Structure 1
Amino acid sequence: MSEPDFDQLRRAMVSNQLRPNQVTDAVVLAAMGDVPRERFVGADQASVAYRDTIVPLGDGHALNPPIATGLLLNAARPLAGEHVLLIGTATGYVAALLAEMGCKVTALDADKGPLAAGWPEGAPYSLIYIDGAVEQIPSVIADQLAEGGRLVGAIIERGVTRLALGRRVSGGFGLESFADIEAVPLPGFAPAPVFSF
């Protein structure tokens, strides 16, 4: 597929997938319209990079559907200059989008260490973006948010994946889901087993 075809696919993603599904932030739309998603998948997957589905990448990695990425960024409203912790880098697509929006990004990869611990050395963060679906948000991650900071990601609740936005206010953390969208499961976020006698 030639480069002009990818440009057309990128424009179609913005106009046909993102805008009709309430992705309205102009900065998010511009970044997703500019960053070439096909460069963040293998050459054999480039032709499906813009489909509204999870793109398997091998070795247990996958790329979230464009709508999941767009809705999470839209909810997060990243601002230029903000310090962002990205948990689960996959191929680096979301890191590239955040950098395009002017954010300072610290990215964690599952191959390099446990994602559920976050990166306290760089805290506090204005935004934590979990690039995938998890069963719970560990308090150690929420604690890495600055006061007023936001966290976005997908939460798996009784087999349903829901996109969610959380905020740290007055030392507490609240999380609210806003859309049921498929997302790539991230390893290492299962709740601790509960034993009963």
Structure 2
Amino acid sequence: MNIEQARFNMIEQQIRTWEVLDPTVLDLLQQVPREDFVPGGYKGLAFADLEIPLGHGQTMLSPKLEARMLQALDLKKADSVLEIGTGSGYMTALLAKLAGRVDSVEIVSHLSRDAAQKLAAHGIANAALEVGDGARGWGNATYDVIVLTGSTPLLPESFQRQLNPGGRLLAVVGEAPAMEAVLINCVAPGVYRRTTLFETCIPVLRNALEPERFSF
């Protein structure tokens, strides 16, 4: 496989056509080698328009979804970022290249360990990886950007409270097959604006907040 041609085709045929036109994002996708973060048995699918299994019910998001999320977050070099779901570490790498600091949480310990090795191999030193359950919030720190890489049926309010003024939160909310990517902006302390970006469907975070189920 011609790696560079496949990368070019991914960007031109999948990502640009899904309204990702930010030159900073497009350049970054050229620079960070996605194929290095894909599990060994799936290297040939590194640039395909699909989710790649990572094991334990986890997946690597499709390239166009990763790119669309990055564009919507409008990251700045001074931003602090909380990522829920490290997964392969590829999205972590993209976030770290654009932001000042990334705290990334992964519930599966060996995925976090593998991602840390890949990030180190690429000289990415501004991402701190932790093992734990962040599906309903993580710690007490506040951030400029929070992104969930798995879906959640209900979005815990705790994430909003962790946003700094001017901060952005991106999450895929809902239950299959009706999920929406939503962007929440903290326009002032305790004041939030919610925008629906697009419809999609991705695997749910383990232990995500769910609505109450009625039994009869």
Normalised by the size of structure 2, how large is the TM-score?
A: 0.82
Rounded to whole Å, the distance in 1 between the matches of 2:177 and 2:194 is 18
Q: 1:133 aligns with which of 148, 151, 158?
A: 151
Residue range with higher mean Cα deviation, 154-163 or 24-33? 154-163
RMSD: 1.9
C-alpha deviations, 1:118-151, integer Å up to 9, x for none? 3334x22110011121112111111100012101
Matches within 5 A, 1:1-197: 1=1, 5-111=2-108, 112-121=131-140, 123-157=141-175, 159-170=177-188, 171-193=190-212
> By how many angstroms is 1:65 displaced?
0.6
Rounded to whole Å, the distance in 2 between the matches of 1:168 and 1:94 is 23
Rounded to whole Å, the distance in 1 between the matches of 2:35 and 2:203 is 18
Contact 1:165–1:176 (8 Å) recurs in 2: yes
User: Which blocks of at least 5 consecutive residues in structure 2 are unaligned?
Assistant: 109-130
User: What amino acid maps onto 1:8 in structure 2?
Assistant: Q
Aligned residues with identical type, % of pairs: 31
Rounded to whole Å, the distance in 1 between the matches of 2:211 and 2:16 is 39
Rounded to whole Å, the distance in 1 between the matches of 2:9 and 2:100 is 26
Contact 2:37–2:88 (8 Å) recurs in 1: yes
Normalised by the size of structure 1, how large is the TM-score?
A: 0.89
Aligned length: 193
> By how many angstroms is 1:196 displaced?
8.1
Identify the structure with bigger relative contact order (alpha carbons < 8 Å, sequence gap 6+): 1
> By how many angstroms is 1:47 displaced?
0.6
User: What amino acid maps onto 2:10 in structure 1?
Assistant: M
Rounded to whole Å, the distance in 1 between the matches of 2:30 and 2:203 is 22
> By how many angstroms is 1:37 displaced?
1.0
